[in-house]
């Protein structure tokens, strides 16, 4: 390694994009990308969709092929970072290796949140975060088997759709009063509840899991009130926790993620961070957030590469997300937190396309667009530019 070495911890979407962007920024020094899955960096969103449904191979979702890393002189290291010595500018790995760095990038992502109930460690209780997780789930998902999915968020519902396509009997348990309660308006929750029920999914809200039971392998799920549900396997999808242990141990500022500035610098000027592990300020909403989406990771990786290379940039892109379920594509522009008014274009009670617009103090702040790509593009632009919108025109839109 040369004196000018960038070490990227985390072969995540952010980590892989950051490595590639460094070469675009004309970084001539060494680049070392450390990952602990033993695979080429891949896209995670398709895991609960096409990959789980068996419609695609993992290679289809590789962010870059192996030849790219070789051609761009990006060294891929299979290992797990255990500590950072900021004064010595080194990263230690679990196998005893020590990597020197001139600049360090933390792209450590997030891990699935565990469900702390009795029986959580039984065989066939799965989480869905990595390719290996999905491969284990797919092996269990034989036709006519029974799965209980704990969590009615995006991951839970996407997984339900994929497993129904495989002929699995699916029950979704959501502890809140409606699916997607944390991220959408009631009208959107009601729509997806209707869609999944029509596909044969048993959706149960206000359903609290108290335990998993079985002899070594899970056989049933116990709900509050002592109701039991038979299960050949279980999938827990109750959110994620940012991987900040490494940053915390190194003394970096952490607050629901690694705190970074507009250039993705951490509290150490020689360390940047990007991806699901990052907490950053969004000027459009004037608040700090930690985003779990490819769009944010991609932008943060681009800005981090520019910062490292001395080409100052800043985070500015409006957050956006998507979810694929059955033949439905939900595209989300902006953040709806704090909305006080909702307007709907279309008929979500009967049709399979509509848009839900979110307002705060009369200003459009977000939009959920189901099978309406034109609405998504228009809303995203208006929200980012803080343009005034005609509410009557929005409600009458049929795009």
pLDDT band at 390 (very low <50, low <70, confident <90, very high): confident
CATH of domain 125-236: 3.50.50.60
In angstroms, rounded to a whole number, what is the distance separating the alpha carbons of residues 105 and 271? 6
Q: Give the domain ranges of the chain.
A: 5-111+240-308, 125-236, 327-396
Could you tell me what percent of the chain has a pLDDT over 70?
A: 98
Residue 3 confidence (pLDDT): 62
pLDDT category of residue 385 using cuts at 50, 70 and 90: very high
Q: What is the mean pLDDT of residues 191-200?
A: 98
Q: What is the per-residue pLDDT for 399?
A: 47
Q: Report the pLDDT averaged over residues 146-174.
A: 97
Q: Using a pLDDT cut of 90, give the percent of the chain over it.
A: 91
Contacts 24+ apart (CB under 8 A), 92-97: 93/34
DSSP symbols for 200-220: T-EEEES--EEEEE-SSB--E
Domain 327-396: homologous superfamily in CATH? FAD/NAD-linked reductase, C-terminal dimerisation domain (3.30.390.30)
Mean pLDDT computed over 137-148: 97
Domains 5-111+240-308 and 327-396 share a fold: no
Q: Which single residue is written with the structure tokens 């001139």?
A: 102
Residue 398 has pLDDT above 60, yes or no: no
pLDDT confidence of 393, banded at 50, 70, 90? Answer: confident
Fold of the domain built from segment(s) 5-111+240-308? FAD/NAD(P)-binding domain (3.50.50)
């Amino acid at each position: 390694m040369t004196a000018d070495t960038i070490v990227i911890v985390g072969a995540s979407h952010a980590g892989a994009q950051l490595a590639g962007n460094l070469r675009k920024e004309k970084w001539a020094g060494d680049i070392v990308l450390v990952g602990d899955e033993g695979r080429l960096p891949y896209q995670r969103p398709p895991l609960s969709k096409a990959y789980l449904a068996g419609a695609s191979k993992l290679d289809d979702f590789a962010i870059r092929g192996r030849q790219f890393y070789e051609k761009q002189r990006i060294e891929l290291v299979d290992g797990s970072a255990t500590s950072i010595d900021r004064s010595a500018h080194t990263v230690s790995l679990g196998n005893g290796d020590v990597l020197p760095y001139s600049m360090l990038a933390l792209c450590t992502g997030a891990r699935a949140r565990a469900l702390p109930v009795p029986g959580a460690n039984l065989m066939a209780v799965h989480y869905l975060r990595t390719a290996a997780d999905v491969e284990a789930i797919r092996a269990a998902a034989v036709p006519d088997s029974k799965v209980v999915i704990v969590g009615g968020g995006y991951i839970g519902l996407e997984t339900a759709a994929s497993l129904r396509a495989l002929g699995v009997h699916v029950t979704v348990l959501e502890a809140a009063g409606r699916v997607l309660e944390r991220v959408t308006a009631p009208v959107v929750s009601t729509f997806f509840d209707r869609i999944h029920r029509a596909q044969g999914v048993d959706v149960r809200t206000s359903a609290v899991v108290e335990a998993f039971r079985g002899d070594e392998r899970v056989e049933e799920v116990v709900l509050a009130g002592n109701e039991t549900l038979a299960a050949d396997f279980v999938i827990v999808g109750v959110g994620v926790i940012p991987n900040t242990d490494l940053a915390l141990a190194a003394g970096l500022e952490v607050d629901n993620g690694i705190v970074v500035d507009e250039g993705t610098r951490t509290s150490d000027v020689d360390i940047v961070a990007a991806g699901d592990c990052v907490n950053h300020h969004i000027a459009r909403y004037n608040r700090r957030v930690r985003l779990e989406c490819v769009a944010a990771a991609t932008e943060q990786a681009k800005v981090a590469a520019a910062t490292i290379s001395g080409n100052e940039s800043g985070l500015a892109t409006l957050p956006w997300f998507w979810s694929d379920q059955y033949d439905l594509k939900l595209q989300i522009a902006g953040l709806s937190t704090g909305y006080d008014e909702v307007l709907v274009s279309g008929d979500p009670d009967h049709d399979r396309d509509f848009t839900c617009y979110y307002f705060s103090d009369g200003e459009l702040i977000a939009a959920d667009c189901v099978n309406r790509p034109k609405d998504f593009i228009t809303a995203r632009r208006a929200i980012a530019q803080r343009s005034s919108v005609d509410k009557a025109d929005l409600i009458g839109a049929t795009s």
